[in-house]
């Protein structure tokens, strides 16, 4: 059995992030459940234009508890998780190289694959912990508030945030393997996440753009829909499948290239392309 010291170290290194993001989610979840009764009457009497309704509520009516939680919580909270994912994803390879510590790790009898897989495992555990801590916010609110949302469904909807988190994590991981420059990799993924969030939100409400949403991970994520419909397995499968593909690409790219130290990059456009195509300089 291989020793999991890298996984353990990674988890230890991110413990305050896990606690911090987790508690932020807890607070958000509980607060939104507790303010729901105050909003309910107003929202139920309010007739919003369909486009605005769609903008806020996606496919659910914002005048229902599920729609409200979807619009106010599940639609954007994944952004927080994605921030965590990007920090971890770019830190795992690019960060370790930028800080120059990768040389020390990989001079040990530790394979590159094992190293990356342990770091992936740590982030999987970390994400589950954050979402679980966040769900405690529902545990301390839903049973005590008159809201038409079942506690079990909040658990399902919370767990449903994991695949999109994993997608953006593996995207950051892969970009960090392609270009061992943490800032560039983070910028690229954050930009992509933000753009796809807004495209999806806009496409929900603006008919001519409607088909664009099929190109964004947020559509497959489905915000609060699992509160009503349960998990959409094909969509989850797609997010997880792309994540897995990116992880495999990461193993391949990082397995074949030179390790850099101190964020040194010899990268021009051709170099990036070469790495994406994963051709080692020797081979």
Helices (H) and strands (E) in the chain, counts: 15, 0
273 sits near other proteins (criterion: CB under 8 A) = no
- Tokens 């079942």 -> residue: 150
If one asks whether residue 207 binds other proteins (CB under 8 A), the answer comes out as no
Regarding 5 and contact with other proteins (CB under 8 A), the answer is yes
The full 3-state SS of 211-275, as one line of letters, equals: HHHHHCHHHHHCCCHHHHHCCCHHHHHHHHHHHHHHHHHHHHHHHHCCCCCCCCCCCCHHHHHHH
Which member of 37, 100, 215, 237 binds other proteins (CB under 8 A)?
A: 100
Is 191 near other proteins (CB under 8 A)? no
Q: Does the protein bind other proteins through residue 3 (CB under 8 A)?
A: yes
**Cβ-based neighbour number of residue 125 at 10 Å:** 15
238, 272, 74: which is closest to 167 by C-alpha?
Answer: 238
Q: Which of 42, 45, 107, 146 binds other proteins (CB under 8 A)?
A: 107
Is 9 near other proteins (CB under 8 A)? yes
Q: Write the binding mask 57 to 96 for other proteins: x where contact by CB under 8 A, - elsewhere.
A: ----------------------------------------
111 forms part of the interface with other proteins (CB under 8 A): yes
Q: Is 16 in the site for other proteins (CB under 8 A)?
A: no
Per rule CB under 8 A, count of chain residues that contact other proteins: 27
Angstrom distance (rounded) from CA 208 to CA 250: 36
Contact pick of 52, 99, 143, 207 for other proteins (by CB under 8 A): 99
Site membership for other proteins, residue 258 (CB under 8 A): yes
Residues 238-257 within binding reach of other proteins (CB under 8 A): 256-257
Q: Is 271 in the site for other proteins (CB under 8 A)?
A: yes
User: Is residue 259 a contact point for other proteins (CB under 8 A)?
Assistant: yes
Sequence-distant (6+) residues with CB within 8 A of 170 are 89, 120, 242, 243, 244, 246, 247, 250
CA distance 221 to 46: 28
Please check whether residue 65 is in contact with residue 36, taking contact to mean a CB–CB distance below 8 angstroms.
Answer: yes
Three-class SS state of 58: coil
Q: Can you give the binding site for other proteins, defined by CB under 8 A?
A: 3, 5, 9, 13, 99-101, 103-104, 106-111, 256-259, 261-262, 266, 268, 271, 280-282
């Amino acid at each position: 059995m291989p020793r999991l010291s890298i996984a353990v170290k990674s988890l230890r290194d991110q413990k305050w992030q896990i606690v911090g993001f987790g508690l932020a989610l807890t607070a958000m979840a509980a607060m939104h459940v507790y303010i729901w009764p105050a909003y309910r009457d107003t929202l139920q009497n309010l007739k919003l234009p369909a486009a605005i309704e769609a903008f806020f509520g996606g496919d659910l009516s914002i005048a229902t508890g599920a729609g409200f939680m979807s619009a106010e919580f599940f639609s954007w909270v994944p952004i927080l998780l994605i921030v965590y994912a990007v920090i971890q994803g770019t830190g795992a390879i690019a960060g370790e190289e930028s800080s120059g510590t990768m040389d020390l790790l990989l001079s040990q009898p530790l394979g590159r694959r094992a190293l990356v897989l342990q770091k992936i495992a740590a982030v999987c555990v970390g994400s589950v912990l954050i979402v679980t801590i966040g769900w405690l916010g529902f545990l301390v609110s839903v049973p005590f508030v008159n809201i038409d949302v079942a506690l079990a469904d909040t658990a399902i909807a919370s767990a449903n945030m994991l695949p999109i988190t994993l997608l953006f994590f593996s995207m950051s991981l892969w970009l960090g393997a392609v270009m061992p420059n943490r800032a560039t990799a983070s910028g690229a993924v954050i930009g992509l996440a933000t753009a796809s969030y807004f495209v999806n939100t806009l496409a929900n409400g603006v008919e001519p753009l409607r088909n664009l949403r099929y190109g964004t991970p947020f559509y497959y994520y489905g915000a609060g829909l699992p509160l009503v419909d349960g998990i959409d397995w094909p969509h989850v499968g797609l997010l997880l499948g792309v994540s897995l593909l990116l992880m495999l690409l990461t193993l391949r790219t990082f397995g074949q290239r030179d390790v850099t130290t101190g964020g040194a990059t010899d990268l021009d456009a051709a170099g990036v392309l070469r790495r994406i195509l994963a051709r080692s300089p020797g081979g």
